[in-house]
């Protein structure tokens, strides 16, 4: 006989409210970040101090645009997960915690919007 409540069964969640999803996604993005960060470092180093036209041409090329999209998606997701854990660890007031967890999402989405705008404008804008 199961000791779980009917509601618990329906939700399929434990007391932590979610299972290994957070852990697993942190690892997926971590693995993805390894090559992405290494390529990103090379790209940045190659553009240090370069004139505007050269930077623009490099960032507008399809390969770079797609790379920056992948790099940003993976790192933004990873840092969202990481900051959530930090907030959960150190902020104990329920209201403050929920507010900061929301702010975390807003910050990540806003950064992502800035990057998305830049990628599109660089790649498609004249």
Partner 1 sequence: MNDTKTPSSRPLSPHLQVYRLIPTMVASIVHRATGMALYFGMFLFAWWLFAAATGAAYFDWVNGLFASMLGRLVLLGFTWALIHHLLGGVKHLVQDTGRALEKHFTTRMARLQFVASILLTLMVWIVAYWVR
Q: Which is nearer to partner 1, 6 or 51 (CB)?
A: 51
Q: Which of 55, 70, 73, 101 binds partner 1 (CB under 8 A)?
A: 55
Torsion of CA 69, 74, 77, 81, to 10 degrees: -160
> Where in 64-123 is the site for partner 1 (CB under 8 A)?
68, 72, 75-76, 79, 82-83, 86, 107, 111-112, 114-115, 117-119, 121-122
CB of 11 to partner 1, least distance (A): 27
Q: Which residues contact 32 (CB under 8 A, 6 or more apart)?
A: 70, 74
97, 91 contact by CB (below 8 A): yes
45 vs 63, beta carbon nearer partner 1: 45
Contact call for residue 12 and partner 1 (CB under 8 A): no
What is the nearest approach in angstroms of partner 1 to the Cβ of residue 68? Answer: 7
Which SS3 state, helix, strand or coil, does residue 38 take?
helix
**Binding region for partner 1 (CB under 8 A):** 27, 30-31, 33-34, 37, 41, 45-46, 48-50, 52-53, 55-56, 59, 68, 72, 75-76, 79, 82-83, 86, 107, 111-112, 114-115, 117-119, 121-122, 125
């Amino acid at each position: 006989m199961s000791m779980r409540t009917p509601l618990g069964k329906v939700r399929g969640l434990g007391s932590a409210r979610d299972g290994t999803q957070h852990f697993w996604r942190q690892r997926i993005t971590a693995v993805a970040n390894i090559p992405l960060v290494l390529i990103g470092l090379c790209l940045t180093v190659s553009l240090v101090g370069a004139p505007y036209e050269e930077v623009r041409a490099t960032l507008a090329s399809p390969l770079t645009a797609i790379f920056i999209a992948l790099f940003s998606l993976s790192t933004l997701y990873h840092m969202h997960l990481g900051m959530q854990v930090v907030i959960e660890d150190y902020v104990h007031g329920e209201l403050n915690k929920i507010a900061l967890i929301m702010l975390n999402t807003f910050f990540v989405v806003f950064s992502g919007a800035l990057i998305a705008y830049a990628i599109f404008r660089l790649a498609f804008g004249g």
